[in-house]
Structure formats: structure tokens, C-alpha cells
Amino acid sequence: MKKKAIVIIPTYNERENIRRLVPALQEVFADKMISDWDLGILVVDDTSPDKTYEVVADLQRKHKNLYLLVNKKKSGLGGAYLKGMAHAFIELKADVIFEFDADFSHDPKKIPQFLAAIDRGADMVLGSRYIRGGGIPKNWGFHRKFLSVVGNIIIAVVLTNFKIRDWTTGYRAITRKVYDSVHRHLDSERFSGYTFQIGFLHRTVQAGYKVVEVPFMFVDRTHGKSKLGPEYIKNTLMYIIKVRIEQLLQSKVFKFVMVGGFGALVQLMSLQLYRFLLPEFQISILTKYLLATLLSIETAIVSNFIFNNIWTFSDRKLKPAQIPSKFVQFNLTSMGSLLIQLAIAAAGQQFIGIFDLFTLPILNVVVDTGMVFAVVGILVGMFWNFFAYTTFIWKKKK
Ligand SMILES: Nc1nc2c(ncn2[C@@H]2O[C@H](COP(=O)(O)OP(=O)(O)O)[C@@H](O)[C@H]2O)c(=O)[nH]1
Ligand SMILES: [Mg+2]
């Protein structure tokens, strides 16, 4: 049996374009290179005021592989694609769908290359303007070029993924398996507009699917108007920042730092408490103050151990039987961190010396090299702790 691919075209006031585009696509479908593919077109129109759907209904009489969905309400690009994808994969039993603009910006002749990439094992294929062989129109004004190029760079930086070169491209091929695992996460409320594209791709990349880019030259539309508005920039920025913050909040490093910060508070408060509770006594050098200090350090260690176990490393939580020995390891690790801080302070004093550096404005605090050694010591100590936690105490289960 032939594999099936459906080219989904969302339309809003595209009657002039769709009239020409359908025959142009049919011509490409006849290419011998893709003879093992059964191809069709699905137009998703939001009841365009220019009655695009009427033109499509008319074309359907000639083209048996042309399908039409009409939404009563305008639901944005993401809404149109989600409806179209559900229809293509479930009703039409497609193996692959294309995302394709009606306005001839996307060269239909590239379709065989997309399908070839899928035959070679790609899960998703992007028509890319920013790899060799691809491009944007030379006549674009500086403003538009800047927005597109810099926008893509910002997205890559914020999402820290530099393997994808064209995040915002609307020319894509998506396999059923990617759709199945990704579409549920994209509620059409939040992803109704163009953010749908970035959201969909980001989910796909995160899930570890193989995404391949095929170059194409973007062509400006000659008929009709672009629906891309300024809210696109705002929505995109909000989306990527939100994703980034979510990822940060979920990261182990962040939780580890929070637990450590909380531990420092616990240490300070319990120190006061022990100083208040302990009776007055003095045995040689062990004074009440020193004992309270030691107890408060141990209290912070217990707090750090508990919260790292139930929160930072909740995915690797220790079994009850492991806790005593792991707690000993945890104490040794903390002692190591303390030794590192002492060693850095001693080395700093020995080789650099203690002297004033500058006065902090407003607070009027004099910063000296001793403080710098302390900060460096704390940071190196934290590195050591995190290293020991992840490699020894909360070792990743295989
Ligand atoms: N059904 C539907 N199609 C839309 C909507 N917004 C844009 N489109 C279509 O999506 C495609 C891309 O839109 P376009 O305005 O060309 O965006 P641009 O290429 O980024 O400027 C075109 O085929 C539009 O007709 C919408 O709200 N609903
Ligand atoms: Mg366009």
C-alpha cells in the first residue's frame, strides 16, 4: 500500500491564491520521484469573507484528492492546523501532513525533497530559509529581515537549541508519530496564533525526535495580505520566556541552590535558638557558642539532606535502608565543602594577601580580598557538593 501525505493549507481570504495553488500542487504530486506516495490537499478555511471556501468547493469537482474543512469561527493559524491535522491523521488516515501557506511563499516543488527526508528516517522536516540553499527575499526591508533573522537567533538562545536554524518557518512535514506525541500538549487557547509553530517544534525537539531541514527560498506573496501582526512578536517572546522559566524551575541546579539557600537560613536561625536554649558552660575550649555553632551546622545539613532527597532528587529518592549510610556520605561531603572553603581562604591569604579592594556605594561596606576568597570558596564548595550529590549520593538509576 502507498504511504499517504496530506498538504494542509489554512486559508483566510486567499481565493486568488488557492485557485492557482491547487493545480500547481497537483503537478508536483505527479512527479515520478514520489510515485510511492499517495498525496492529497486539505484546505482549512475560517469562513473567509472573500469566500475562499467556494473556490475550493468548486475545485473539488475536478480534484478528487482535494478536501475542505470550513470553520464557522476564525480560530487562528494554530487552531486551523490542529483541526486540519486531526482530520488528516484520523479521518484521512495520513502518515504525514504538510503545513503549507496558500500564498505561494512555499515552493511546492520542494515537496519531494521533504518526503525523501522522511523516507530516510526524519520524523519532522522543516523548510529552512537559514541553511545553505535557502533564503529570504532580497527586497525585504531592513526591519523585516532583522525581525526574522534576529527573532530566530533569540528563540535559539532562549530555548538553548542551536541545531534548528529556522524556528519560525511555516513550511513543514510532520509524521503521525510526532503528531501523536505532541498535539495533546498544545491547547489551542494558548497556541492559537503563530506561537503554535514554535511551540510545536519545541515540543518535538524536546521529545527527542529527528528533525531535518531542507532549504527553500521564501517568496513574497503577490496576492492578498499577510495576517502576521505585531502581537506575534509579543506572543512569541512570552512563550519562549515562559518555557525557559518553567525549565529553570524544574532544573536540579535551581532546586539545589534553593535548598542550599534555605539551609543557610536554617543555620542562622537555629544558631540563635541553640544559643538561647543551651545552658551556660565552659569546658576547656568548647564554649556554649562553639557548640551552638556546630549544632546549627548539623541542623542545616539535616535540612539540606531532607529537601534534596524529597525535592531536588525526587526522581532518585533514597530507599529507607539507604538513608543512614547516605546521610554519613552527605556529612562527609559537607565536611569536604568546608575544607575546600578553608583551603581557599588559607591559600588566598598566603599567596595574595588580605587588603581592601573598594567600598560598596550606599551600604558603605569595604570589600576586601578576604570576602572575595569567601565567595570563591562558597562557589567552589557548591560545585563540589553538587558533583558529589549527583555522582555518589543520588546516583542516577540505570
Ligand atoms: N484558517 C485560517 N488560516 C489563516 C489564519 N491566519 C492566517 N492563515 C493562513 O495561514 C497562511 C499563512 O498566513 P500569512 O498571512 O501568509 O502569514 P505570513 O506568511 O507569516 O505573512 C495563509 O495561507 C493564511 O491564509 C486564520 O486565522 N485561519
Ligand atoms: Mg505568507
All three cell numbers of 293: 555553632
Contact 159, 144 (CB under 8 A): no
Burial of 355: CB neighbours in 10 Å, binned 0-12, 13-18, 19+: exposed
Estimate to the nearest angstrom the gap between the alpha carbon of 247 and the chain centroid: 7
CA 11 to ligand 1 centroid distance, Å = 6
Residue with CA closest to ligand 1 atom 21: 226
CA 398 to ligand 2 centroid distance, Å = 48
**Ligand 1 and 105: CB distance under 6 A:** yes
Greatest mean pLDDT among 68-77, 155-164, 196-205, 212-221 lies in 212-221
**Ligand 1 and 226: CB distance under 6 A:** yes
**How high is the pLDDT of residue 285?**
63
**How high is the pLDDT of residue 9?**
98
Residue with CA closest to ligand 1 atom 11: 101
In sequence order, the 6+-apart residues with CB closer than 8 A to the CB of 126 are: 164, 166, 169, 171, 172, 201, 211, 212, 213, 214
CA 101 to ligand 1 centroid distance, Å = 7
**How high is the pLDDT of residue 78?**
87
CA 136 to ligand 2 centroid distance, Å = 12
**Ligand 1 and 101: CB distance under 6 A:** yes
Contact 71, 53 (CB under 8 A): no
CA 219 to ligand 2 centroid distance, Å = 9
Q: Which residue has the cell 578576604?
A: 370
Instruction: State the pLDDT confidence band at 282, using cuts at 50, 70 and 90.
Output: low
Average pLDDT over residues 342-354: 95
| Three-point CA angle 146, 117, 14, nearest 5° | 55
- Which of 12, 44, 168, 228 for a ligand 1 pocket mutation test, highest count of atoms within 8 Å of Cβ? 12
**How high is the pLDDT of residue 190?**
63
CA 129 to ligand 2 centroid distance, Å = 14
CA 299 to ligand 2 centroid distance, Å = 62
Q: At the topology level of CATH, where does 3-249 sit?
A: Spore Coat Polysaccharide Biosynthesis Protein SpsA; Chain A (3.90.550)
Indicate which atom in ligand 1 lies nearest the CA of residue 80.
1
In sequence order, the 6+-apart residues with CB closer than 8 A to the CB of 196 are: 76, 77, 78, 81, 82, 186
Residue 321: helix, strand or coil by DSSP?
Answer: helix
**How high is the pLDDT of residue 278?**
86
| pLDDT over 80 at 284, yes or no | no
CA 398 to ligand 1 centroid distance, Å = 47
| pLDDT over 60 at 189, yes or no | no
CA 169 to ligand 1 centroid distance, Å = 13
Residue 96: helix, strand or coil by DSSP?
Answer: strand
**How high is the pLDDT of residue 124?**
98
Percent of the chain at pLDDT above 90? 74
- Which of 13, 45, 71, 77 for a ligand 1 pocket mutation test, highest count of atoms within 8 Å of Cβ? 77
**Ligand 1 and 228: CB distance under 6 A:** yes
Residue with CA closest to ligand 1 atom 12: 101
Instruction: State the pLDDT confidence band at 75, using cuts at 50, 70 and 90.
Output: confident
**How high is the pLDDT of residue 333?**
97
Task: List the domain boundaries for the chain.
Answer: 3-249, 251-316, 318-398
Q: Which of 194, 5, 216, 214 is nearest to 104 (CA)?
A: 216
**Ligand 1 and 56: CB distance under 6 A:** no
CA 14 → CA 22, 47, 65, 146, 339, distances in Å? 12, 11, 19, 27, 71
| pLDDT over 90 at 314, yes or no | yes
**Which ligand has the shortest distance to the CA of 226?**
1
**Ligand 1 and 99: CB distance under 6 A:** no
Report if pTM > 0.95. Answer: no
**Ligand 1 and 166: CB distance under 6 A:** no
Q: In what order do the strands lie in the sheet with 211-215?
A: 66-70, 37-45, 3-11, 96-99, 172-175, 124-128, 211-215
**How high is the pLDDT of residue 247?**
85
**Ligand 1 and 14: CB distance under 6 A:** yes
Average pLDDT over residues 68-83: 92
CA dihedral 242, 244, 248, 250 (to 10 degrees): 70
Average pLDDT over residues 83-110: 97
All three cell numbers of 372: 572575595
Three-state secondary structure string covering the chain: CCEEEEEEEEECCCHHHHHHHHHHHHHHHCCHHHCCEEEEEEEEECCCCCCHHHHHHHHHCCCCCEEEEECCCCCHHHHHHHHHHHHHHHHCCCCEEEECCCCCCCCHHHHHHHHHHHHCCCCEEEEECCCCCCECCCCCCHHHHHHHHHHHHHHHHHCCCCCCCCCCCCCEEEEHHHHHHHHHHCCCCCCCCCHHHHHHHHHHHHCCCCEEEEECECCCCCCCCCCCCCHHHHHHHHHHHHHHHHHHHHCHHHHHHHHHHHHHHHHHHHHHHHHHHCCCCEECCEEHHHHHHHHHHHHHHHHHHHHHHHHHCHHHCCCHHHHHHHHHHHHHHHHHHHHHHHHHHHHHHHHCCCCEEEEECCCCEEEEHHHHHHHHHHHHHHHHHHHHHHHHHCCCCC
Average pLDDT over residues 153-159: 89
| pLDDT over 90 at 132, yes or no | yes
